[in-house]
Amino acid sequence: MALIEGPAGIGKTELLKETLAAGRRRGFQVFGARAGELEQGLPFGVVRQLFELPLARSIDRSVLTGPAEQATRLLTLGDVRGEPVGSPPDQFALVHGLYWLCLNLAERGPVLIAVDDVHWADEASLGWLAYLVRRIEDQPVAVALALRSPHPVAESSVLRDIRAHPFTATLPLEPLSESAAASLVRATFPDAAEEFCRACHHVTAGNPFFLRELVAALRAEGVPPTASESERVRQMAPGTITHVVLLRLGALPPPALDVARAIAVFGARAEVRHAAALADLDVEQAAEAADALVAAGILNEGRPLEFVHPVVRTAIYGDIPPGARAAAHARAARILASDRVPPDRVAGHVLLTEPAHDAWAVEALRAAARWLADAGAPAGAIPYLRRALAEPPPEVRADVLFELGSLEVMVGDRNAADRLQECLEASQDRRRRAEIALLLGRASAGSSYAEAVQTFQRAIDELGEDEREVRLRLEAELLAVARWEPTLRSLVRERLPRVAAEASRGETSAERRLLGFLAQETALLNEPAEEARRWAEKALAGGLLLAEEGSDSRLYHYATDALTLTGAYERADRASAEALEDARSRGSFAGFARVAFSRVLLNMHRGHISDAEVDARAAIQSAEQSGARILFVPAAGFLAEALVERGDVEGAEEVLREAASTPDFENNPAAFIALAARGRWFMAVGRTVEALEDLSRTARLGERFDVVTPAVVPWRSLTAVALATRGAPEEARQLVAEELALARAFGAPRPIGIALRAQGLVERGEEGLALLRESVSALEGSGADLEHARSLTDLGAALRRANRRSEAREPLRRGAEMAFRCGATALFERAQAELKATGARPRRVVLHGVDSLTASERRVAAMASGGMTNREIAQALFVSVKTVEKHLGQAYAKLGVSSRAELKNVLKGHGR
């Protein structure tokens, strides 16, 4: 990526033109755009300039497959398969899809993208360019951006990121030297005196465009190029250029001025028919006027119509009186609307008019907002609806408020609650009020759970018996919010029996949403695992809930997480795999983040540490990209726990430090997981006092947020073991007995096995050995492999300490093997050390073959062996092809293979 930088007129535009021409000569697929000051409000406007017209002329199905399909709405290409595209993508999915469109194009040949005046580019297009530059390595893609400096506006943070990226080369353009300026002057005035040339250079500061315009003005005025005229030249200010442009324009036939002004109003590129309509000319007259403007050096040759330089457009546009400009934009909007151009281009002109209570303008703005939201750019739709609020007749104001508030909720805008409150007060229809309340409650939850619950409750109270479905939706939202507000816990407990009875059949969408909540709540309250599992299965309804809610629904993941907590690992695995496929097919970052987090929980419970590490990193990365920051703290906690298990205590410390730096960390219910992970880390490094402090904080959070079950975090067992090492056995016994009672009441094998193991470690002696054996039995066949390996290792270690060395060897060998397969390096090394202490010779483990692969390498290798191409793997995991190639290359080297067929044979029998 090259960033060509310099002041206006220095030659950036000409250099880009030459770059594009060179690209065409060398066989590149060339895509060019010019950003404009008046088009900054058009989301993805630059992207659409780049791709819309070339793709519309020749749609190649291959470039719009995979994630790139998400861009079809935005680029107004329709669905090339002849089927509905499906639900709108989110904005991150759209950016990802546009990135893959670029890569799909690059499959056909090298791609050259050039954007002039990128300082005027809309934020959405800049975001895509920043996304592209981070993933451009080793792709046959070149990008050239022209940027004015000093900047006419404050440089955006996204543009600063592009500038700072290692793949961006900044190319500053310098002014012409005196000798170069003299060469240009003498191209017009062959006999120009040296002093005259120096004066021209001085006045223009070596700026090529200004120099050309100055020479043209001097020639038009008949100024001789002599030394005696040098002083006259020196008195001409740079601002004279605008005057020169307007003088040259005034010398043309009258229609030329009208056409030039029309083009200035329409923006960067204008069609002849549109300029003709705005100038009140027929198309032939407008075309003749355009030819005259080309001959005068005001327009570029070709179509669409475009000024030779932004400075020329600025001069002509600025010369139109403000009132006339606003009126011209109003006419331009209607001209474009009659020609069925994309709605946001129409509305872009409405934004530049004076509010006039125009019902047509309101509908144009609302249409643009709907179109952008449907294309996956809700943030870009919001300014149109805000402008519409200045226009509408009273009868549609409530509708505009609702549409605006809906979008503001979607993007997390703080104004949403105020908009929706005003809308609620203006609405009289009960069902409509309930829909508004659903959104208002979600918006209010960001600042006050109590206020959100009040909103939901008022709406529920208003509804009649015939509005059962919307009432149940409100109930689901109310419970999901109230669940995490300690002062509202009694409200949740009161409503649960009635909700369970009313939603128990799971026959409607609202019932299934409620059952998703009920499944998780039943598990968290330590009600029998079988009951929570039953609610989860009814909620999922064989895929219906996923189809209705999508992978980014928290209620879907409430159900899958309940399956994990209750030990139904295979069923949870299938449910999360289905959600992962949904996230991939829709390109949903938010869905991918939630699926990754659910899979972290699942893999930590199963003891698949390598997989859990990969999923935790994916959850953190996609949560940050999608804005689902609420997942960051718990995902960081699980990542730290996985790193401790792998023996990377330094890496775990860094992750935990970042998690603890988040605002209001210890009041966040998700800190329950991160604090427990930090307690484990303190224990791993021998800092028992700090471990006990963090586990105590975990207990307080658990009590505050009503997380009763030990299936989430067995903090009592962890605390009991830490207390026992500090000589406090009675307190330890009390805690572990409490946890064992809870675990037995819950009924899932994993928490029972963990509690029995902790009790065995606290009791010691024969009683302790019996408890450890019981722990091993409880975990046998449970699928909780790491906890099984830990109990085996603790049993073997206890037998070794009791001087029963031969008896200790078998559980230690089994524990070591299981720990190794789980990727739990720390436990494996401990089991090996215990085996040595028994006098046995543990097998020497050398990392080779499949076991030598990192978690990421193993995942990519497994996907490749399953028949996926590198591109498909990259699309599925939301990473670049380069990343996939790197992991796969390293896997090939470690496994000693050179093909996917060989890879499949090597991986056969290695399971996950």
Given a cut of 80, is residue 851 above it in pLDDT? no
- What pLDDT score does 82 carry? 42
Give the separation between CA 869 and CA 857, rounded to whole angstroms.
15
805 or 445, higher pLDDT: 805
pLDDT tens per residue across span 663-714: 878 778 888 999 999 999 999 999 999 999 999 999 999 999 899 999 999 9
User: Residue 239 — very low, low, confident or very high, per pLDDT cuts 50/70/90?
Assistant: low
Q: What is the mean pLDDT of the chain?
A: 88
Place of tokens 């996939």: 884
Contact 674, 633 (CB under 8 A): yes
For 180, 206, 429, 479, the CA distances from 212, given in Å and listed in that order, are 12, 10, 67, 70
Given a cut of 70, is residue 78 above it in pLDDT? no
- What pLDDT score does 352 carry? 92
How many helical (H) and strand (E) elements, i.e. helices and strands, does the chain have? 46, 5
User: Residue 414 — very low, low, confident or very high, per pLDDT cuts 50/70/90?
Assistant: confident
The DSSP H or E segment spanning 410 is: helix 394-411
Place of tokens 């299965």: 537
User: Residue 204 — very low, low, confident or very high, per pLDDT cuts 50/70/90?
Assistant: confident
- What pLDDT score does 60 carry? 72
Contact 580, 551 (CB under 8 A): yes
Give the separation between CA 190 and CA 192, rounded to whole angstroms.
6
pLDDT tens per residue across span 525-569: 999 999 999 999 999 999 999 998 888 788 899 999 999 999 999
| 546 closest CA partner among 500, 580, 499 | 580
- What pLDDT score does 29 carry? 95
- What pLDDT score does 519 carry? 95
Give the separation between CA 394 and CA 438, rounded to whole angstroms.
24
User: Residue 896 — very low, low, confident or very high, per pLDDT cuts 50/70/90?
Assistant: confident
138's torsion region: left (phi>0), alpha (psi -120 to 50) or beta? left
Contact 350, 359 (CB under 8 A): no
Range with top average pLDDT, 91-95, 498-502, 625-629, 880-884: 498-502
- What pLDDT score does 33 carry? 93
| 614 closest CA partner among 590, 594, 597 | 597
- What pLDDT score does 628 carry? 55
Q: How do 169-172 and 2-6 pair as beta strands?
A: parallel
The pair phi, psi for residue 145, each rounded to 5°, is: -120, 135
pLDDT tens per residue across span 19-36: 999 999 999 999 999 998
Given a cut of 60, is residue 272 above it in pLDDT? yes
Given a cut of 90, is residue 853 above it in pLDDT? no
Rounded average pLDDT over 115-124? 91
Given a cut of 60, is residue 238 above it in pLDDT? no
782 or 876, higher pLDDT: 782
68 or 847, higher pLDDT: 68
Give the separation between CA 32 and CA 40, rounded to whole angstroms.
17
Given a cut of 50, is residue 398 above it in pLDDT? yes
For 252, 276, 494, 651, the CA distances from 272, given in Å and listed in that order, are 18, 6, 69, 62
- What pLDDT score does 63 carry? 87
- What pLDDT score does 625 carry? 63
Environment class of 59 (CB within 10 Å of its CB; exposed 0-12, middle 13-18, buried 19+)? middle
Contact 315, 240 (CB under 8 A): no
Give the separation between CA 448 and CA 441, rounded to whole angstroms.
9
Alpha carbon 827 to its chain's center: 36
Contact 120, 156 (CB under 8 A): no
Q: How do 111-116 and 2-6 pair as beta strands?
A: unpaired
Give the separation between CA 595 and CA 648, rounded to whole angstroms.
25
Q: Please tell me the pTM assigned to this model.
A: 0.75
Exposure on the CB side of residue 729, measured as CA atoms within 13 A: 7
Give the separation between CA 550 and CA 561, rounded to whole angstroms.
16
Name the DSSP class of 270. B
